[in-house]
Chain A
Amino acid sequence: MSELNQEYKPLIVAFCCNWCSYAGADLAGSNRLAYPADVKIIRVPCSCRVNPMFILRAFQRGADGVILCGCHPGDCHYTTGNYYTRRRMSMLFSMLDYLGIERERTRVEWVSAAEGAKFASTMNDFAKKVASLGPNKRLEDLRCKP
Protein backbone atom coordinates (compact mmCIF):
# COMPACT_ATOMS: atom_id res chain seq x y z
CA MET A 1 0.00 0.00 0.00
CA SER A 2 1.18 3.45 -0.73
CA GLU A 3 1.91 5.93 2.02
CA LEU A 4 -1.16 7.85 0.99
CA ASN A 5 -3.37 4.95 1.99
CA GLN A 6 -2.02 4.80 5.50
CA GLU A 7 -3.62 8.15 6.13
CA TYR A 8 -6.82 7.13 4.44
CA LYS A 9 -9.72 6.20 6.69
CA PRO A 10 -12.69 4.69 4.94
CA LEU A 11 -16.23 5.70 5.80
CA ILE A 12 -18.44 2.71 6.36
CA VAL A 13 -22.18 2.76 6.78
CA ALA A 14 -23.67 -0.27 8.47
CA PHE A 15 -27.39 -0.87 8.39
CA CYS A 16 -28.34 -3.11 11.29
CA CYS A 17 -31.67 -4.70 12.01
CA ASN A 18 -33.05 -3.79 15.38
CA TRP A 19 -33.64 -7.31 16.64
CA CYS A 20 -30.47 -9.19 15.87
CA SER A 21 -27.59 -7.23 14.44
CA TYR A 22 -28.10 -3.97 16.29
CA ALA A 23 -28.32 -6.02 19.47
CA GLY A 24 -25.24 -7.91 18.29
CA ALA A 25 -23.47 -4.58 17.93
CA ASP A 26 -24.61 -3.64 21.43
CA LEU A 27 -23.23 -6.93 22.69
CA ALA A 28 -19.93 -6.25 20.97
CA GLY A 29 -19.98 -3.02 22.94
CA SER A 30 -20.86 -4.69 26.22
CA ASN A 31 -17.99 -7.11 25.68
CA ARG A 32 -15.66 -4.24 24.71
CA LEU A 33 -14.82 -5.86 21.37
CA ALA A 34 -13.18 -3.11 19.37
CA TYR A 35 -13.72 -2.28 15.72
CA PRO A 36 -12.80 0.86 13.79
CA ALA A 37 -14.66 4.08 14.53
CA ASP A 38 -15.06 4.44 10.76
CA VAL A 39 -18.05 2.15 11.06
CA LYS A 40 -21.26 4.06 11.67
CA ILE A 41 -24.42 2.15 12.40
CA ILE A 42 -27.93 3.03 11.29
CA ARG A 43 -30.73 1.21 13.03
CA VAL A 44 -33.53 -0.18 10.91
CA PRO A 45 -36.37 -2.40 12.11
CA CYS A 46 -35.40 -5.21 9.78
CA SER A 47 -32.79 -5.72 7.10
CA CYS A 48 -35.68 -5.79 4.64
CA ARG A 49 -36.27 -2.09 5.39
CA VAL A 50 -33.08 -1.22 3.57
CA ASN A 51 -33.88 0.20 0.20
CA PRO A 52 -31.22 -0.04 -2.50
CA MET A 53 -31.61 3.71 -2.73
CA PHE A 54 -30.19 4.07 0.78
CA ILE A 55 -27.11 2.14 -0.24
CA LEU A 56 -26.52 4.19 -3.36
CA ARG A 57 -27.23 7.32 -1.36
CA ALA A 58 -24.49 6.40 1.09
CA PHE A 59 -22.01 5.99 -1.73
CA GLN A 60 -23.15 9.24 -3.27
CA ARG A 61 -22.62 11.05 -0.03
CA GLY A 62 -19.12 9.73 0.39
CA ALA A 63 -19.30 6.29 1.96
CA ASP A 64 -16.55 3.91 0.89
CA GLY A 65 -18.35 0.76 1.93
CA VAL A 66 -21.86 -0.25 2.91
CA ILE A 67 -22.65 -3.32 4.95
CA LEU A 68 -26.06 -4.69 5.74
CA CYS A 69 -26.56 -6.85 8.81
CA GLY A 70 -29.65 -8.81 9.70
CA CYS A 71 -30.85 -11.84 11.58
CA HIS A 72 -29.74 -15.20 10.27
CA PRO A 73 -32.06 -16.59 7.61
CA GLY A 74 -34.85 -18.36 9.43
CA ASP A 75 -34.45 -16.20 12.53
CA CYS A 76 -36.00 -12.99 11.26
CA HIS A 77 -38.06 -11.30 13.92
CA TYR A 78 -40.61 -10.71 11.20
CA THR A 79 -40.24 -14.30 9.98
CA THR A 80 -39.40 -13.62 6.35
CA GLY A 81 -37.84 -10.17 6.07
CA ASN A 82 -34.25 -11.24 5.61
CA TYR A 83 -35.19 -13.72 2.89
CA TYR A 84 -36.28 -10.76 0.78
CA THR A 85 -33.17 -8.86 1.78
CA ARG A 86 -31.08 -11.77 0.60
CA ARG A 87 -32.66 -11.74 -2.84
CA ARG A 88 -32.71 -7.98 -3.20
CA MET A 89 -29.11 -7.52 -2.19
CA SER A 90 -27.91 -10.46 -4.27
CA MET A 91 -29.42 -8.78 -7.28
CA LEU A 92 -28.34 -5.26 -6.42
CA PHE A 93 -24.76 -6.20 -5.63
CA SER A 94 -24.53 -8.25 -8.79
CA MET A 95 -25.70 -5.23 -10.75
CA LEU A 96 -23.14 -2.99 -9.08
CA ASP A 97 -20.48 -5.53 -9.97
CA TYR A 98 -21.79 -5.52 -13.54
CA LEU A 99 -21.34 -1.77 -13.64
CA GLY A 100 -17.75 -2.24 -12.58
CA ILE A 101 -18.18 -1.11 -8.98
CA GLU A 102 -15.81 -2.96 -6.65
CA ARG A 103 -17.79 -5.82 -5.17
CA GLU A 104 -15.92 -5.67 -1.87
CA ARG A 105 -17.53 -2.34 -1.09
CA THR A 106 -20.85 -3.99 -0.36
CA ARG A 107 -21.62 -6.87 1.91
CA VAL A 108 -24.48 -8.62 3.65
CA GLU A 109 -23.72 -10.41 6.90
CA TRP A 110 -26.08 -12.23 9.22
CA VAL A 111 -25.31 -11.41 12.85
CA SER A 112 -27.49 -12.60 15.68
CA ALA A 113 -28.04 -10.80 18.96
CA ALA A 114 -25.69 -13.28 20.58
CA GLU A 115 -22.89 -12.77 18.08
CA GLY A 116 -21.15 -9.73 19.46
CA ALA A 117 -17.81 -11.25 18.57
CA LYS A 118 -18.94 -11.93 15.03
CA PHE A 119 -20.16 -8.37 14.71
CA ALA A 120 -16.81 -6.98 15.75
CA SER A 121 -14.79 -9.34 13.61
CA THR A 122 -17.05 -8.72 10.62
CA MET A 123 -16.63 -4.98 10.96
CA ASN A 124 -12.88 -5.28 11.39
CA ASP A 125 -12.61 -7.44 8.33
CA PHE A 126 -14.91 -5.30 6.23
CA ALA A 127 -13.16 -2.09 7.24
CA LYS A 128 -9.84 -3.66 6.32
CA LYS A 129 -11.10 -4.79 2.91
CA VAL A 130 -12.63 -1.43 2.13
CA ALA A 131 -9.52 0.40 3.28
CA SER A 132 -7.45 -1.72 0.91
CA LEU A 133 -9.67 -0.64 -1.97
CA GLY A 134 -9.08 3.02 -1.27
CA PRO A 135 -11.64 5.79 -1.63
CA ASN A 136 -14.82 5.12 -3.54
CA LYS A 137 -14.40 6.75 -6.94
CA ARG A 138 -16.86 4.87 -9.04
CA LEU A 139 -20.05 5.81 -7.25
CA GLU A 140 -19.04 9.21 -6.00
CA ASP A 141 -20.82 12.48 -6.43
CA LEU A 142 -18.22 15.20 -6.72
CA ARG A 143 -20.61 17.75 -5.31
CA CYS A 144 -20.43 15.93 -2.00
CA LYS A 145 -16.66 16.02 -1.82
CA PRO A 146 -15.03 18.76 0.21
Chain B
Amino acid sequence: MLKCNLSQLDNLFAAVAEAMPLYLPTQGKNGANYTKWQAGAVWSNTCNTQKGPKDLFFPQSEDLMAFKTQGKTIEIIDTRNEAEDFAVFGVRACDVKSLEILDRVFLSEPKDSYYASRREHGIIISLACNRPTENCFCGSFGIDASSPNGDVTCWLTEDALYLRGNTEKGEKFMALAAPFVTECDDTAAEAQKEKIQKIMARLPLADLKTDAFGGGKTEEFFNSPQWAKLSESCLGCGTCTFVCPTCQCYDIRDYKTNDGVVRYRCWDSCMYSEFTRMAHGNNRNSQKERFRQRFMHKLVYFPENNDGVFSCVGCGRCLAKCPISMNIVKVMKALEGEQNG
Protein backbone atom coordinates (compact mmCIF):
# COMPACT_ATOMS: atom_id res chain seq x y z
CA MET B 1 0.00 0.00 0.00
CA LEU B 2 1.17 3.52 -0.81
CA LYS B 3 0.24 6.74 0.81
CA CYS B 4 0.05 10.18 -0.76
CA ASN B 5 -0.41 13.14 1.47
CA LEU B 6 -3.22 15.32 0.26
CA SER B 7 -0.83 18.21 -0.11
CA GLN B 8 1.01 16.16 -2.74
CA LEU B 9 -2.07 15.18 -4.66
CA ASP B 10 -2.02 18.01 -7.18
CA ASN B 11 1.62 17.27 -7.92
CA LEU B 12 0.73 13.66 -8.48
CA PHE B 13 -2.02 14.68 -10.90
CA ALA B 14 0.35 16.98 -12.70
CA ALA B 15 2.94 14.27 -13.08
CA VAL B 16 0.42 11.79 -14.47
CA ALA B 17 -1.10 14.38 -16.77
CA GLU B 18 2.35 15.08 -18.10
CA ALA B 19 2.63 11.49 -19.26
CA MET B 20 -0.90 10.81 -20.42
CA PRO B 21 -4.33 12.44 -20.42
CA LEU B 22 -5.81 12.24 -16.95
CA TYR B 23 -9.54 12.42 -16.42
CA LEU B 24 -11.05 13.06 -13.02
CA PRO B 25 -14.24 14.50 -11.54
CA THR B 26 -14.39 18.29 -11.34
CA GLN B 27 -17.29 20.52 -10.43
CA GLY B 28 -19.13 22.08 -13.33
CA LYS B 29 -22.28 24.11 -13.47
CA ASN B 30 -24.42 21.03 -13.18
CA GLY B 31 -22.38 19.08 -10.66
CA ALA B 32 -19.30 16.93 -10.98
CA ASN B 33 -18.24 15.31 -14.20
CA TYR B 34 -15.11 13.73 -15.61
CA THR B 35 -12.94 16.33 -17.29
CA LYS B 36 -9.41 16.31 -18.53
CA TRP B 37 -7.07 17.50 -15.82
CA GLN B 38 -5.31 20.76 -16.50
CA ALA B 39 -3.19 22.84 -14.19
CA GLY B 40 -5.50 24.56 -11.74
CA ALA B 41 -8.25 21.97 -12.00
CA VAL B 42 -9.85 21.07 -8.71
CA TRP B 43 -10.66 17.44 -8.15
CA SER B 44 -14.10 16.85 -6.73
CA ASN B 45 -14.73 14.01 -4.30
CA THR B 46 -18.52 14.23 -4.71
CA CYS B 47 -20.29 10.91 -4.73
CA ASN B 48 -21.08 10.53 -7.58
CA THR B 49 -20.44 12.21 -10.94
CA GLN B 50 -23.46 13.28 -13.01
CA LYS B 51 -22.44 10.97 -15.79
CA GLY B 52 -20.21 7.95 -15.34
CA PRO B 53 -16.86 7.34 -17.01
CA LYS B 54 -18.69 5.48 -19.78
CA ASP B 55 -18.21 8.38 -22.19
CA LEU B 56 -14.44 7.95 -22.03
CA PHE B 57 -14.66 4.43 -23.40
CA PHE B 58 -17.88 4.58 -25.33
CA PRO B 59 -18.54 8.20 -26.28
CA GLN B 60 -22.06 9.42 -26.95
CA SER B 61 -21.21 9.82 -30.58
CA GLU B 62 -18.18 8.52 -32.33
CA ASP B 63 -17.12 8.47 -35.96
CA LEU B 64 -16.52 4.96 -37.23
CA MET B 65 -15.36 5.72 -40.74
CA ALA B 66 -15.90 8.11 -43.57
CA PHE B 67 -16.58 7.86 -47.26
CA LYS B 68 -15.32 10.49 -49.57
CA THR B 69 -16.91 10.78 -52.97
CA GLN B 70 -15.36 12.36 -55.96
CA GLY B 71 -17.41 12.21 -59.09
CA LYS B 72 -18.65 8.68 -59.00
CA THR B 73 -15.76 7.16 -57.05
CA ILE B 74 -15.81 6.45 -53.34
CA GLU B 75 -12.86 6.39 -50.99
CA ILE B 76 -13.15 4.78 -47.56
CA ILE B 77 -11.33 6.51 -44.74
CA ASP B 78 -10.51 5.17 -41.30
CA THR B 79 -11.25 8.08 -39.02
CA ARG B 80 -9.58 6.62 -35.94
CA ASN B 81 -6.64 8.31 -34.30
CA GLU B 82 -3.70 6.37 -32.94
CA ALA B 83 -4.80 5.16 -29.48
CA GLU B 84 -2.84 6.43 -26.50
CA ASP B 85 -2.81 5.59 -22.82
CA PHE B 86 -5.01 7.60 -20.49
CA ALA B 87 -5.90 7.50 -16.84
CA VAL B 88 -9.24 7.94 -15.14
CA PHE B 89 -9.04 8.86 -11.51
CA GLY B 90 -11.70 8.67 -8.83
CA VAL B 91 -13.90 6.00 -10.36
CA ARG B 92 -16.42 4.64 -7.88
CA ALA B 93 -17.00 0.96 -7.28
CA CYS B 94 -20.27 0.95 -9.16
CA ASP B 95 -18.75 2.61 -12.20
CA VAL B 96 -15.77 0.25 -12.18
CA LYS B 97 -18.24 -2.58 -12.20
CA SER B 98 -20.19 -0.96 -14.99
CA LEU B 99 -17.14 -1.15 -17.23
CA GLU B 100 -16.89 -4.85 -16.56
CA ILE B 101 -20.50 -5.12 -17.70
CA LEU B 102 -19.77 -3.14 -20.84
CA ASP B 103 -16.81 -5.45 -21.44
CA ARG B 104 -19.18 -8.40 -21.55
CA VAL B 105 -20.98 -6.76 -24.41
CA PHE B 106 -18.21 -5.12 -26.37
CA LEU B 107 -15.32 -7.46 -25.78
CA SER B 108 -17.12 -10.70 -26.52
CA GLU B 109 -16.80 -11.89 -30.10
CA PRO B 110 -17.07 -10.12 -32.42
CA LYS B 111 -15.03 -7.65 -30.47
CA ASP B 112 -15.78 -3.95 -30.75
CA SER B 113 -12.35 -2.69 -31.70
CA TYR B 114 -13.17 0.94 -30.96
CA TYR B 115 -14.15 0.16 -27.39
CA ALA B 116 -11.47 -2.47 -26.95
CA SER B 117 -8.70 -0.09 -27.87
CA ARG B 118 -9.85 2.44 -25.31
CA ARG B 119 -10.20 -0.18 -22.63
CA GLU B 120 -6.75 -1.44 -23.39
CA HIS B 121 -5.27 2.01 -23.01
CA GLY B 122 -7.42 3.30 -20.17
CA ILE B 123 -6.09 2.96 -16.62
CA ILE B 124 -8.82 2.96 -14.01
CA ILE B 125 -7.91 4.40 -10.65
CA SER B 126 -10.86 3.68 -8.42
CA LEU B 127 -11.80 5.33 -5.16
CA ALA B 128 -13.83 4.04 -2.24
CA CYS B 129 -16.99 6.04 -1.46
CA ASN B 130 -16.70 7.90 1.79
CA ARG B 131 -20.18 9.32 1.51
CA PRO B 132 -22.57 7.17 -0.45
CA THR B 133 -25.93 8.86 -0.95
CA GLU B 134 -29.55 7.95 -0.45
CA ASN B 135 -29.74 6.94 -4.10
CA CYS B 136 -26.96 4.37 -3.82
CA PHE B 137 -27.77 0.67 -3.87
CA CYS B 138 -24.66 -0.91 -5.32
CA GLY B 139 -24.66 -3.34 -2.40
CA SER B 140 -27.75 -4.97 -3.83
CA PHE B 141 -25.63 -6.07 -6.77
CA GLY B 142 -22.83 -7.37 -4.62
CA ILE B 143 -20.62 -4.34 -5.13
CA ASP B 144 -18.54 -3.19 -2.21
CA ALA B 145 -18.31 0.57 -2.30
CA SER B 146 -15.60 0.46 0.32
CA SER B 147 -13.34 -1.65 -1.84
CA PRO B 148 -13.69 -0.99 -5.53
CA ASN B 149 -11.87 -2.87 -8.29
CA GLY B 150 -9.87 -1.16 -10.98
CA ASP B 151 -6.25 -1.03 -12.02
CA VAL B 152 -5.50 0.95 -8.91
CA THR B 153 -7.74 1.20 -5.85
CA CYS B 154 -7.67 4.24 -3.59
CA TRP B 155 -9.03 5.21 -0.21
CA LEU B 156 -9.27 8.73 0.99
CA THR B 157 -8.94 9.79 4.61
CA GLU B 158 -8.86 13.19 6.25
CA ASP B 159 -5.24 13.74 5.34
CA ALA B 160 -4.12 11.25 2.76
CA LEU B 161 -4.88 9.15 -0.23
CA TYR B 162 -3.99 5.47 0.00
CA LEU B 163 -3.24 3.63 -3.21
CA ARG B 164 -3.06 -0.04 -4.07
CA GLY B 165 -2.00 -1.26 -7.49
CA ASN B 166 -4.03 -4.16 -8.76
CA THR B 167 -2.85 -4.79 -12.28
CA GLU B 168 0.03 -4.40 -14.64
CA LYS B 169 -1.67 -1.35 -16.14
CA GLY B 170 -2.08 -0.05 -12.64
CA GLU B 171 1.65 -0.26 -12.13
CA LYS B 172 2.15 2.23 -14.97
CA PHE B 173 0.19 4.72 -12.94
CA MET B 174 1.93 3.78 -9.72
CA ALA B 175 5.26 4.39 -11.38
CA LEU B 176 4.21 7.88 -12.34
CA ALA B 177 2.91 8.44 -8.81
CA ALA B 178 6.09 7.12 -7.16
CA PRO B 179 7.74 10.49 -6.41
CA PHE B 180 4.75 11.61 -4.35
CA VAL B 181 3.97 8.53 -2.30
CA THR B 182 5.43 6.60 0.57
CA GLU B 183 5.02 2.97 1.55
CA CYS B 184 2.58 2.28 4.36
CA ASP B 185 0.50 -0.50 5.85
CA ASP B 186 -3.21 -1.23 5.41
CA THR B 187 -4.44 0.13 8.71
CA ALA B 188 -5.73 3.49 7.62
CA ALA B 189 -7.38 2.06 4.51
CA GLU B 190 -8.99 -0.73 6.49
CA ALA B 191 -10.34 1.75 9.01
CA GLN B 192 -11.81 3.82 6.21
CA LYS B 193 -13.38 0.69 4.75
CA GLU B 194 -15.08 -0.05 8.01
CA LYS B 195 -16.41 3.50 8.29
CA ILE B 196 -17.85 3.23 4.82
CA GLN B 197 -19.46 -0.11 5.46
CA LYS B 198 -21.25 1.36 8.47
CA ILE B 199 -22.83 4.03 6.32
CA MET B 200 -23.65 1.47 3.67
CA ALA B 201 -25.61 -0.50 6.19
CA ARG B 202 -27.89 2.36 7.02
CA LEU B 203 -28.57 3.58 3.50
CA PRO B 204 -32.30 3.72 2.84
CA LEU B 205 -31.97 1.29 -0.05
CA ALA B 206 -29.60 -1.07 1.78
CA ASP B 207 -32.18 -3.81 2.00
CA LEU B 208 -33.13 -3.83 -1.66
CA LYS B 209 -33.04 -7.47 -2.77
CA THR B 210 -32.28 -8.88 -6.20
CA ASP B 211 -33.16 -12.47 -5.37
CA ALA B 212 -36.43 -12.35 -7.26
CA PHE B 213 -34.67 -11.47 -10.49
CA GLY B 214 -32.14 -13.08 -12.75
CA GLY B 215 -31.96 -15.26 -15.81
CA GLY B 216 -34.90 -17.50 -16.51
CA LYS B 217 -37.44 -15.20 -14.90
CA THR B 218 -38.96 -13.96 -18.10
CA GLU B 219 -42.25 -15.66 -17.63
CA GLU B 220 -42.70 -14.47 -14.07
CA PHE B 221 -42.44 -10.85 -14.97
CA PHE B 222 -43.13 -10.33 -18.64
CA ASN B 223 -46.88 -10.24 -18.37
CA SER B 224 -47.07 -8.60 -14.98
CA PRO B 225 -49.91 -6.08 -14.67
CA GLN B 226 -47.45 -3.86 -12.82
CA TRP B 227 -45.80 -2.72 -16.05
CA ALA B 228 -48.80 -0.68 -17.06
CA LYS B 229 -48.89 1.13 -13.74
CA LEU B 230 -45.15 1.64 -13.55
CA SER B 231 -44.83 2.98 -17.06
CA GLU B 232 -47.96 5.11 -17.14
CA SER B 233 -46.21 8.38 -16.49
CA CYS B 234 -42.96 7.59 -18.31
CA LEU B 235 -42.20 10.44 -20.71
CA GLY B 236 -40.22 8.24 -23.04
CA CYS B 237 -37.16 10.45 -22.78
CA GLY B 238 -33.67 9.04 -22.80
CA THR B 239 -32.42 10.47 -19.52
CA CYS B 240 -32.17 7.18 -17.60
CA THR B 241 -30.39 5.53 -20.49
CA PHE B 242 -27.92 8.30 -21.09
CA VAL B 243 -26.91 8.67 -17.44
CA CYS B 244 -26.78 4.91 -16.94
CA PRO B 245 -23.21 3.58 -16.84
CA THR B 246 -24.21 0.20 -18.18
CA CYS B 247 -26.57 1.08 -21.00
CA GLN B 248 -24.73 0.26 -24.17
CA CYS B 249 -27.22 0.46 -27.02
CA TYR B 250 -26.17 2.50 -29.97
CA ASP B 251 -27.34 3.32 -33.44
CA ILE B 252 -25.13 3.54 -36.50
CA ARG B 253 -25.98 6.34 -38.82
CA ASP B 254 -24.61 8.00 -41.90
CA TYR B 255 -24.23 11.73 -41.96
CA LYS B 256 -24.04 13.20 -45.42
CA THR B 257 -21.31 15.79 -45.42
CA ASN B 258 -20.48 18.14 -48.22
CA ASP B 259 -18.11 15.72 -49.91
CA GLY B 260 -19.20 12.32 -48.71
CA VAL B 261 -20.51 10.52 -45.70
CA VAL B 262 -19.39 10.18 -42.12
CA ARG B 263 -20.53 6.96 -40.56
CA TYR B 264 -20.85 7.37 -36.85
CA ARG B 265 -22.49 5.67 -33.99
CA CYS B 266 -24.38 7.33 -31.19
CA TRP B 267 -26.06 6.22 -28.05
CA ASP B 268 -29.60 5.13 -28.54
CA SER B 269 -32.27 4.60 -25.97
CA CYS B 270 -34.69 1.73 -25.74
CA MET B 271 -37.10 4.29 -24.31
CA TYR B 272 -37.30 6.04 -27.68
CA SER B 273 -40.18 5.32 -30.00
CA GLU B 274 -37.84 4.88 -32.96
CA PHE B 275 -35.65 2.33 -31.18
CA THR B 276 -35.39 -0.97 -33.07
CA ARG B 277 -37.51 0.38 -35.86
CA MET B 278 -37.17 -2.09 -38.67
CA ALA B 279 -38.38 -2.49 -42.17
CA HIS B 280 -41.64 -3.99 -40.99
CA GLY B 281 -42.12 -1.30 -38.37
CA ASN B 282 -41.44 -1.31 -34.69
CA ASN B 283 -41.64 -4.33 -32.51
CA ARG B 284 -42.21 -2.37 -29.34
CA ASN B 285 -45.01 0.03 -29.99
CA SER B 286 -46.10 1.30 -26.64
CA GLN B 287 -44.19 3.06 -23.94
CA LYS B 288 -45.18 0.20 -21.65
CA GLU B 289 -43.36 -2.27 -23.87
CA ARG B 290 -40.33 -0.03 -24.16
CA PHE B 291 -40.28 0.61 -20.45
CA ARG B 292 -40.58 -3.12 -19.73
CA GLN B 293 -37.77 -3.87 -22.13
CA ARG B 294 -35.38 -1.61 -20.33
CA PHE B 295 -35.93 -3.14 -16.94
CA MET B 296 -36.35 -6.70 -18.12
CA HIS B 297 -33.05 -6.33 -19.89
CA LYS B 298 -31.29 -5.08 -16.79
CA LEU B 299 -32.85 -7.60 -14.43
CA VAL B 300 -33.62 -10.72 -16.45
CA TYR B 301 -32.35 -10.88 -20.02
CA PHE B 302 -28.82 -9.67 -19.35
CA PRO B 303 -28.18 -12.02 -16.41
CA GLU B 304 -29.65 -14.81 -18.49
CA ASN B 305 -26.93 -14.35 -21.10
CA ASN B 306 -24.15 -13.27 -18.74
CA ASP B 307 -23.75 -15.77 -15.99
CA GLY B 308 -26.29 -14.16 -13.74
CA VAL B 309 -24.69 -10.71 -13.79
CA PHE B 310 -27.27 -7.93 -13.65
CA SER B 311 -26.73 -4.98 -15.91
CA CYS B 312 -27.37 -2.53 -13.14
CA VAL B 313 -24.73 -1.43 -10.67
CA GLY B 314 -26.91 0.59 -8.30
CA CYS B 315 -25.16 3.89 -9.00
CA GLY B 316 -28.47 5.72 -8.42
CA ARG B 317 -28.09 8.16 -11.31
CA CYS B 318 -31.46 7.30 -12.76
CA LEU B 319 -33.01 7.93 -9.36
CA ALA B 320 -31.52 11.37 -9.28
CA LYS B 321 -32.22 12.30 -12.88
CA CYS B 322 -35.55 10.85 -13.98
CA PRO B 323 -37.89 13.79 -14.69
CA ILE B 324 -40.81 11.94 -13.17
CA SER B 325 -38.88 10.05 -10.50
CA MET B 326 -39.62 6.60 -11.83
CA ASN B 327 -36.66 4.27 -11.56
CA ILE B 328 -35.32 0.77 -11.26
CA VAL B 329 -35.75 0.71 -7.48
CA LYS B 330 -39.45 1.45 -7.74
CA VAL B 331 -39.73 -1.15 -10.48
CA MET B 332 -37.90 -3.82 -8.47
CA LYS B 333 -39.95 -3.15 -5.38
CA ALA B 334 -43.23 -3.24 -7.25
CA LEU B 335 -42.42 -6.46 -9.12
CA GLU B 336 -40.98 -8.14 -6.08
CA GLY B 337 -43.91 -7.06 -3.94
CA GLU B 338 -46.27 -8.48 -6.47
CA GLN B 339 -44.44 -11.76 -6.55
CA ASN B 340 -44.33 -11.98 -2.80
CA GLY B 341 -47.79 -10.64 -2.19
Task: Tell me which of A61, A143, A146 contacts B262 (CB under 8 A).
Answer: A143
- B residues sitting closer than 8 Å to A (CB atoms) are 255, 257-259, 262
Chain B nearest CB from A57 CB (Å) reads 12
Q: Decide if A144 is an interface residue (CB 8 Å cutoff).
A: yes
Residue in A closest to B261 when the chains form the complex, CB atoms: A143
Which residues of A sit under 8 angstroms from B255, Cβ to Cβ? Answer: 143
Residue in A closest to B255 when the chains form the complex, CB atoms: A143
Chain A nearest CB from B297 CB (Å) reads 32
Chain A nearest CB from B300 CB (Å) reads 39
Which residues of B sit under 8 angstroms from A62, Cβ to Cβ? Answer: 258
Residue in B closest to A143 when the chains form the complex, CB atoms: B257
Chain B nearest CB from A135 CB (Å) reads 14
Which residues of B sit under 8 angstroms from A146, Cβ to Cβ? Answer: 258-259
Chain B nearest CB from A7 CB (Å) reads 19
Which residues of A sit under 8 angstroms from B259, Cβ to Cβ? Answer: 146
Residue in B closest to A62 when the chains form the complex, CB atoms: B258
**A122-146 interface bits toward B, Cβ cutoff 8 Å, 1 = contact, 0 = none:** 0000000000000000000001111
Chain A residues bordering chain B, tally (CB within 8 A): 6
Chain B nearest CB from A60 CB (Å) reads 10
Among A61, A62, A144, max chain B CB count under 10 A is at A144
A-B pairs with lowest CB-CB distance, top 9: A144-B258, A143-B257, A144-B257, A143-B262, A143-B255, A62-B258, A146-B259, A61-B258, A146-B258
**A86-98 interface bits toward B, Cβ cutoff 8 Å, 1 = contact, 0 = none:** 0000000000000
A90 to B77, CA, bound (A): 43
Among A143, A144, A146, max chain B CB count under 10 A is at A143
Which residues of B sit under 8 angstroms from A145, Cβ to Cβ? Answer: 258
Residue in A closest to B66 when the chains form the complex, CB atoms: A143
Chain A nearest CB from B75 CB (Å) reads 14
A residues 83-130 touching B (CB-CB < 8 Å): none
**A54-68 interface bits toward B, Cβ cutoff 8 Å, 1 = contact, 0 = none:** 000000011000000
A62 to B257, CA, bound (A): 10
Residue in A closest to B262 when the chains form the complex, CB atoms: A143
Task: List 8 other contacts, CB 8 Å, given A61-B258, A144-B258.
Answer: A62-B258, A143-B255, A143-B257, A143-B262, A144-B257, A145-B258, A146-B258, A146-B259
Chain B nearest CB from A62 CB (Å) reads 6
A127 to B257, CA, bound (A): 25
A146 to B66, CA, bound (A): 13
Residue in B closest to A146 when the chains form the complex, CB atoms: B259
A145 to B262, CA, bound (A): 12
Residue in B closest to A61 when the chains form the complex, CB atoms: B258
A residues 36-66 touching B (CB-CB < 8 Å): 61-62
A62 to B259, CA, bound (A): 12
Which residues of B sit under 8 angstroms from A143, Cβ to Cβ? Answer: 255, 257, 262
Which residues of A sit under 8 angstroms from B258, Cβ to Cβ? Answer: 61-62, 144-146
